[in-house]
Amino acid sequence: MATNRTFTMIKPDAVANGHIGAILDHIIKGGFKIVAMKYTSLTPEKAGEFYSVHKERPFYGDLVKFMSSGPIVAAILEKDNAVEDFRKLIGATDPSKAEAGTIRQLFAKSIDANAVHGSDSDENAQIEGSFYFSAFEQF
Ligand code: RTP
Ligand code: MG
């Protein structure tokens, strides 16, 4: 995967609250092209693996439980400066601190259920995209 790509998940809270369409609209209007996408879910084992960088953090158990609590949408997105620009589009981890108009400010209710994931580096975007999609599933 090229470095002009990032990886996102629409998290279980946003899917359950009916925000898939609005969030995808926001992403596309933000200038991102969807190059891979699937509606799926994570087992606790898979969620633990995905967020294994946070294994030692106090919120890890709750995060794994939440991320495996219901369906998600996983996608690879393309844009110049994708990782940084997507983090700007989603806003701060804690939605109460997210800038007006960002996806988390608009659609998230708490730091634990914060609507979307965005990769934090080009290297992680590559790893996370490959976690869900083979090369043949990326356009
Ligand atoms: P994400 O990986 O999901 O895009 O979120 P992020 O980069 O903004 O935040 P990160 O530090 O990677 O944390 C992953 C998720 O763990 C939960 N968290 N809770 N209670 C806390 O202090 C705390 N810190 C992080 C959040 O749900 C965050 O999205
Ligand atoms: Mg993160």
Eight-state DSSP code of residue 99: P
3 state DSSP class of 34? strand
The residue whose CA is least distant from atom 23 of ligand 1 is 59
Please state the length of the chain: 139
pLDDT single digits (tens) 78-129: 999 999 999 999 999 999 999 999 999 999 999 999 999 999 999 999 999 9
Residue where the block lists tokens 């599933």: 137
> Would you state the pLDDT for residue 79?
98
Q: Known catalytic residue: 117?
A: yes
Spatial separation of the C-alpha atoms in residues 83 and 7, rounded to whole Å: 8
Q: Which residues pair with 117 in a beta bridge?
A: 9
β 116-118/33-40 pair status: unpaired
Spatial separation of the C-alpha atoms in residues 16 and 21, rounded to whole Å: 12
100 φ, ψ (degrees, to nearest 5): -55, 135
Total number of domains in the chain: 1
pLDDT classification of 2: cutoffs 50, 70, 90: low
Percent of the chain with pLDDT over 90: 97
> Would you state the pLDDT for residue 137?
93
pLDDT at 1 over 50: no
pTM of the model: 0.96
Percent of the chain with pLDDT over 70: 99
Question: Please, is 17 exposed, middle or buried when counting C-beta atoms within 10 Å of its C-beta (0-12, 13-18, 19+)?
Answer: middle
> Would you state the pLDDT for residue 3?
72
C-alpha 75 – ligand 2 centre gap (Å): 15
The residue whose CA is least distant from atom 27 of ligand 1 is 112
Q: Which residues pair with 36 in a beta bridge?
A: 76
ipTM: 0.96
Ligand 1 environment, Cβ below 6 A: 54, 59, 63, 93, 111-112, 114, 117-118, 120
User: What CATH number is attached to the domain comprising 13?
Assistant: 3.30.70.141
From the CA of 7, which ligand is nearest? 1
The whole domain housing 76 covers 5-137
